[in-house]
Structure 1
Amino acid sequence: MLNYSDSNLMADELASFGPEVLVLEPDHLKDRVIARLRRVVADHEEAAR
C-alpha cells in the first residue's frame, strides 16, 4: 500500500514504470494509470504513421 495525497501525480509516477506496474486498487487510481498508458500507446502509433 502506498500513501499519497494527489492521485494525478501518483498516476503519473506509476505510469512511468510502463509494463512493470500493476495497480489493483483503488479503482480511480487504476483508471488514471490505464488512461495515461493508453495515451502513450496512441501517441506512439500516431508517430509511427
Structure 2
Amino acid sequence: MNIKEIGMLLRDKVLVKCRINKFKISFYLCHFKKKGAKSSKLLKLQRKRKIS
C-alpha cells in the first residue's frame, strides 16, 4: 500500500466517525427536546461553563 491509499483509508475512517457523531448528536437533541425545557436549560448552562 502506498501513502495515497493509506491517506484515503484514514480519511474514510474519519468521515465514518463524523457521520456516526452527527447521528448521535441529532439523536441526543431529539431526545432532549422530548424531555422538555429543563434539560435544554441545563445544556445551555453547561455550554456557558465550557466557554468561560
* Higher RCO structure, 1 or 2 (CA under 8 Å, sep 6+): 1
Per the normalisation by structure 2, the TM-score is 0.46
Per the normalisation by structure 1, the TM-score is 0.48
Higher helix share: 2
